[in-house]
Amino acid sequence: MKITISSLLIATVAATANAEVWKITSMDKGTRENTCSRQIQACQNNCGGPSLAPMAFCNSTTMAWGCGCLNNTPNMEVWNWPVPAADCSGSLNVCKTNCSVKNTNECFVNCTKTHMCNTEDAPVSYTSASDVDIVPKYVGPAVSYKGDKLGDLNDGNNRDNLSPSSSHSGSSGPKSDSDSAGSQKEATDKVNLATRLQLTGAAVLAAFAAGITF
């Protein structure tokens, strides 16, 4: 009995050490593959079948994912797709793990407030991509899908230079978006298009590059 308990403790410590800085690609291979296959399947179901889902992809190495249907706009809320949902719960776990440093109840409460996973208040996941070969950004400004600025996600990633307010310098937007992100109108069009394509993470960055404040 005692041996079982101490080996459980060792396993917990090892898992904790692995997860100091959250990145979705640090999930083990099996979990990545499982999450990806659920992602592709959810997209295909949403489109009405595999043949109607030409843009259902998920790269189990990078976790880049996308969903585009032939006949309909995917109607799954972005925060509920398997990959962004896994990104949120992983970040939440590391947030809580890191509370052992501060070890205050407020710290755990903060993690719960900043990680309302599977809701529009969840932190935006920067995992979506326009193609299976494109490596996602992973880390972006801490904002919710609703557009609210969130507190410190406390998951080991430094977002100090990624805050929405500092992006007015125009230097923090993604290269692919910065050339055409001149006006709010354009950015809004992009957000609309991106939302239809489920490219929310990239869209939020594009909006920041265009100076839209949340």
Ligand X SMILES: *[C@@H]1O[C@H](CO)[C@@H](O)[C@H](O)[C@H]1NC(C)=O
Residues that bind ligand X (CB under 6 A): 20-21, 59, 61-62, 98, 101-102, 104, 106-107, 110, 132-133, 135, 151, 154-156
Instruction: Return the number of the residue (127 or 154) whose C-beta is nearest ligand X.
Output: 154
Minimum Å gap between C-beta 128 and ligand X is 14
Question: Which residue, 16 or 195, has its beta carbon nearer to ligand X?
Answer: 16
Pinpoint the alpha helices (H) of the chain: 2-18, 29-47, 82-102, 105-114, 175-178, 184-196, 200-209
Residue 187, judged by CB atoms within 10 A of its CB (0-12, 13-18, 19+), counts as: buried
Number of C-beta neighbours around residue 157 at 10 A? 17
Q: Which is nearer to ligand X, 107 or 211 (CB)?
A: 107
- Min dist CB 179 to ligand X, Å, is 22
Tell me how far apart the alpha carbons of residues 214 and 193 are, in angstroms, rounded to a whole number.
19
Phi-psi region of 5 (alpha: psi -120 to 50; beta: other; left: phi over 0): alpha
d(Cα 6, Cα 97) in Å, to the nearest integer? 19
Which residue, 39 or 210, is less far from ligand X as judged by CB? Answer: 39
CB of 162 to ligand X, least distance (A): 15
CB nearer ligand X, residue 52 or residue 134: 134
Rounded to a whole number of angstroms, the minimum distance from the CB of residue 142 to ligand X is 10
What is the nearest approach in angstroms of ligand X to the Cβ of residue 150?
A: 8
